Amino acid sequence: MSSREAAKMEDILAAKADLLGMIKEYLKFEVFEETVHSFDKECKSKGQVVSNHQGSTLRDAKTRGIQKDLLSSFDDGDHKVFFELWTENIPSEIKDTDSEAQSLEFYLHIHFTIYPLRRHPGIHDRAEFEERISHFKQYLETRGAALSQTTEFLPYYALPFVPNPTVHPSFKDLFRDSWIPQLKYKLEQFMSVTLKPSNTPRLLNLYKDGGRSSKEAMQQLQLQLVESDRRITSHVRKFNKMQADYHNLIGITAELVDTLEATVSGKMISPEYLQSVCVRLFSSQMRQSVVQSTDFTRPGTGYYSMSPYDDGYASSMLRASIAPQRSKEVPMLPSLDYEKLKKDLVEGSDRLRSLLLQALRWRLTRSLPGEQRDTVLQAFISNDLLERYSTKQKLVLHLMRSKNEITRQYMARLINAFASLAEGRAYLSQIPILLKLLTEALRTEEKDSQTRKNVLVALQKLSLRRSQQTAMIADNLIGWLVDELQDSDCLSDFTLEYSAALLMNLCLRTKGKRKCAETAKHVLKVLTDLLGHENHEIRPYVNGALYSILCIPSVRQEAKEMSVEEILHCYSKEDNPDLNRQIEFIIKQLNSADEEGPESDDEEEEDDNDEDLMETDLDIEEVLQPQPRELSGESLLTTEYLGIMTNMAKVKRKSTPLPQPSVDEPLQRPVTPSSHRNAV
């Protein structure tokens, strides 16, 4: 045997002896005396060496070493070493919940921050102090934020902004000779209790630590996944905004090239045309000032009105650069047997129903935008997937009342996917029972469950259509929303945002305003309270709702009695020019003497929004996962439900872009949070 092999064998024997020693230690700890005796006897008969560990002695030595290192780094002002040891050795349940530990940690951060100023107040130490101040700021914004409401610690939140803390009266105690010894004594007392050696056997500690590590790692991964989803949504939104701006600029550039070519050839350009280009070119904050300050009738311009589409070669090339590229052949998804699908959705097991609902939603959400997705949706509609024309007792939509939570959730997800597309909303609007099922689920499902979230979002998207607004108002959804928003601190940001946006859409209708007027004081109280909510994403919807209902004289009178104008002035002091201007419009509406206008609900108008709103997060947090060898998704549909010629291609109606509201004014047209974010 070589020396390397001999050394390896020694390591293996030492590890086995160590493990047997831990087993024996655990058996002794649990007082298995007969088992210990049998264990010793059997190990001896087999020639197995059992290490005689002095577990407590080793733990005592380790604990003393940690305490010594913590105190040494405290004395040396070495914050990096100290907090590395602190993080590794102080249990999370103590650091995060024990008030004494949190208080001590706060003062320790102060100690290490001002350490350079206490020891050697020189130029180099000043530079180091600036570096430590940045670490202290980071602490105050993260772990230290929890103590910001405590009077004892509040003055120290100003420490990073004081040029010379050594002479500031608020911090004079920190530079007294007695402050460090007192803090060190508190640290020693805390360590003597927290880092007291435990008699717990090493085997049990290994098991507990391993389980905790796995659990903490899983929780960390889940948090990272949620954060990644949030960043993806944010980046997609920014990309869509940049792409829209780019296309707008290219279009304007092409028109200006046309204008230049026309001018060279002697044609005259009308002031109105130039003004329209400027209005499109500049952002809403600059439009009014640019248009007012530009004299479009100065000498050199005439009144010949040229068409922006009399393209020259250069402008044609510019427009061609952003024209949708004729894609390669996009494969159409296989046709399905919808009759069999609907039968199994109604009569199948809960798991089969859920898998089918998931697969149908994925077919819609994961299809390519454009012809492929349009064909999928048209196939769903033409084959009446949700059975709007059926007279049967049991319908697919009745799955919203299923006893199985996953089935209800996946039915709600599919309805939400339908509502994300303009043609889908038109289809859903023709199903009489749908709104009743959705509002029923909204009132009965648990708060912030995925089922309720999807129902809320679907209703919010359906509120873009006038017929659905009318039905929701008649069902007193406004009253329910106001009561829900009254307890806003108990709602997630998601629920809060979509509830506020839905309420605003309903308040834009005359019947909705009058419904609010019935309980004006309650509605105004809830809306003005929401203005102060920390989630600023809801402000445009709250402002829009306030502006709308204040056109009712009785609501204006109630608002004046409640001093709403003074409340609005308080919020207009915030550093947000756009929202400040919106508040100015609301105050102007509050002080107007206009009578209520005629009812517009019965007028024949087109629906307010016909754009597609397919978000990227429709398929997140899937709770249904296929079992081994179980069919799911597209493979389930094409294996078990293949049909013949059920995909009906249809030319999609081209939507007319709606005029984008100025950010200066409260919203006055129905929107969804996703469409509003993309427009802003």
Model confidence over 49-58: pLDDT tens digits? Answer: 887 755 555 5
More confident residue, 171 or 423: 423
Domain count, the chain: 5
Q: Which amino acid is at 646?
A: T
Q: Which two tokens stand for residue 445?
A: 């499902």
CA atoms of 661 and 285, how far apart (whole Å): 11
Which of these ranges, 29-43, 408-422, 462-476, 572-586, has the smallest mean pLDDT? 572-586
Same-domain status, 346 and 450 = yes
The reported pLDDT for the residue numbered 41 is 87
Same-domain status, 363 and 459 = yes
Same-domain status, 171 and 191 = yes
Same-domain status, 510 and 436 = no
Q: Where are the alpha helices (DSSP H) in 508-576?
A: 510-518, 520-531, 539-549, 553-561, 564-571
pLDDT-based confidence at 219, cuts 50/70/90?
low
For residue 353, is it within any domain? yes
CA atoms of 584 and 248, how far apart (whole Å): 30
The reported pLDDT for the residue numbered 659 is 46
Same-domain status, 394 and 444 = yes
Domain span holding position 113: 56-195
Same-domain status, 405 and 367 = yes
Asked if the model's pLDDT at residue 556 lies above 80, the reply is yes
For residue 667, is it within any domain? no
Q: Is there a contact between 541 and 586 (Cβ–Cβ < 8 Å)?
A: no
- 235-238 — which CB contacts under 8 Å span 24+ positions? 236/616, 237/674, 237/677, 237/678
Find the mean pLDDT for residues 155-175: 83
CA atoms of 563 and 291, how far apart (whole Å): 37
What residues pair up with 642 in beta bridges, in sequence order?
336
- pLDDT tens digits, 27-42: 887 888 888 888 888 8
Q: Which of 105-119, 494-508, 640-654 has the highest mean pLDDT?
A: 494-508
More confident residue, 668 or 571: 571
Find the mean pLDDT for residues 238-267: 81
pLDDT-based confidence at 648, cuts 50/70/90?
low
Q: Which of 38-52, 295-309, 602-616 has the highest mean pLDDT?
A: 38-52
- pLDDT tens digits, 489-518: 888 888 899 999 999 999 999 999 999 999
For residue 458, is it within any domain? yes
Global pTM value: 0.54
For residue 372, is it within any domain? yes
Same-domain status, 509 and 419 = no
CA atoms of 572 and 546, how far apart (whole Å): 15
Asked which of 294, 326, 361 is the last residue of a domain, the reply is 294
Same-domain status, 39 and 70 = no
CA atoms of 35 and 48, how far apart (whole Å): 16
The domain that holds 460 is classified in CATH as 1.25.10
For residue 512, is it within any domain? yes
Same-domain status, 445 and 345 = yes
For residue 311, is it within any domain? no
For residue 384, is it within any domain? yes
Same-domain status, 276 and 246 = yes
Asked if the model's pLDDT at residue 115 lies above 60, the reply is yes
Same-domain status, 173 and 151 = yes
Same-domain status, 355 and 456 = yes
For residue 675, is it within any domain? no
